[in-house]
Structures are given as C-alpha cells and as structure tokens.
Amino acid sequence: DTGVSQDPRHKITKRGQNVTFRCDPISEHNRLYWYRQTLGQGPEFLTYFQNEAQLEKSRLLSDRFSAERPKGSFSTLEIQRTEQGDSAMYLCASSLPDQPQHFGDGTRLSIL
Amino acid sequence: AQSVTQLGSHVSVSEGALVLLRCNYSSSVPPYLFWYVQYPNQGLQLLLKYTTGATLVKGINGFEAEFKKSETSFHLTKPSAHMSDAAEYFCAAELYKAAGNKLTFGGGTRVLVKP
C-alpha cells in the first residue's frame, strides 16, 4: 500500500491560466474522489468516480472544471481560466465501496 | 439541510489534559461518522469511524468517540493530550447513503497543546 499520490504538491499560476492536477489512487481502489479545501474550512466534495465512470459532480464544479479517470486508475482535475477564488487545496481520496476513504497530501493551488 | 457542525474552531489544552472535540450532525437517518486529523501541508488521516454496532469507537493514537443518536453527536476525546496531538481535526459524515459514500465535513477544530 503506497498510499494516494498527488502531483504537483504546489502549483502557482497567473489568473486566467489553465492548470491540471494528477491523482494516483491506491491500486486496488475502484472509487476516487476529489475535494476542495479552502483556508480554515473543511474539505468540500467536488466529484467522484467508480472505475472510469464519473457518477456525481457537485454544483461547486463549474464548467471551468473537468475531471477524468480514463482507464479507471489515475485521475486528472483540470481548471480552465483560473480565478482568484480557485485558490485552495485540492484533495484526492480513494476507497473500496463502503470502506473509509484514504487521502493524498493534496495539491495547493495559488493564483497570482 | 443535512450538515456536520463542529463547535469551536480552536481548542487549547495543556499537555496531559483531556481533549474534547465536539461534533453534531443533522440528518434524517443516522449516518456513518468519521474523525480525521490533518497536520500542516498534509492530507487527512483517519482516526476512527462509526458505522453500526458499538457506539463507543476506539481509534488510533488513543482517541475515542461516542455516537449518541439522541443528541445527534459524535464527540472525540483523548484522556491525556500529547504535544504531537497538535493538529486540525475534522468530523465527517456520509449523509447521503446512496451517493457513493461521499463525505460531508465539519469546519474543523484546530488543537493547540501547551507544555
């Protein structure tokens, strides 16, 4: 069990640029989740996959956000035309169905 | 609306003293409940969980929590605080059983341990 891995750990970008984050789940986990955590707050659910299927998206996930899990293994989260309000920690978690979620260390996004 | 509330965004305790972190949920059906700990610049680590059965749940690092349905609470305790317990703690619940086990989190409680 190598844990959930996220890359990069920290991303600094200018407003209006596109960014992409990657998450590698624990290998046997078929569920993968994305959460967003702003400073001083608890994580908020964004979306989740079961295998390669994206089964739910939060209303927080505007049309500038897109997530994929093309082969049911790693996942990417892309933000287009970044805005100041996108500054946050983006957390990925994985699990087996009905088992606790295991979290990665997150990607901290800073918008200049 | 279904939600998770943590009372107190900051708690300060002396080393060796009791740690008590409060969590209440609002849900029409008792949810599965979790406590996670987060150290600076890291992800969340599961401390303990309640699903069904025994209402007193023991976790890692000497923490335990008790599910009280009548009070819709799931408070976290540790009898004797250690300096390494300084971190942020999040209560979370699976409020929507049919929704892929997604978690709803409270706002977090930051614990400061004084020597």
Statement: residue A103 has pLDDT above 70? yes
- Cβ distance of A101 and B49 shorter than 8 Å: no
B6-47: per-residue pLDDT in tens? 999 999 999 999 999 999 999 878 789 999 999 988 889 999
How many other β-carbons are positioned within 10 Å of the β-carbon of residue A60? 12
Residue B16 touches partner A, C-beta closer than 8 Å: no
Average pLDDT over residues B62-79: 96
Smallest CA-to-CA distance from A17 within A91, A84, A92 is with A84
For the segment A25-63, what is each residue's pLDDT rounded down to a tens digit? Answer: 999 999 999 999 998 899 999 999 999 999 989 988 889
Q: How confident is the model at residue B99 (pLDDT cuts 50, 70, 90)?
A: low
A71-92: average pLDDT: 95
Q: Tell whether B44 is within 8 A of chain A (Cβ).
A: yes
Tell me which of B102, B109, B110 to substitute to probe the interface with A (most A C-beta atoms closer than 10 Å).
B102
Mean pLDDT along residues B41-61: 92
For chain B, give the number of residues: 115
**Tokens 């069990």 — which residue?**
A1
Give the C-alpha separation, A111 to B83, whole Å: 34
For residue B105, give the chain A residue with the closest CA: A42
Residues B52-78, mean pLDDT to the nearest whole number:
94
Contact between B106 and B90 under an 8 Å Cβ cutoff? The reply is yes
Name the residue with higher pLDDT: A12 or A2. Answer: A12
CA-to-CA distance for B43 and A18, rounded, in angstroms? Answer: 24
Please, what is the average pLDDT of chain B? 92
pLDDT at B97: 62
Q: Amino acid identity, residue B2?
A: Q
User: CA nearest B101 in A: which residue?
Assistant: A98
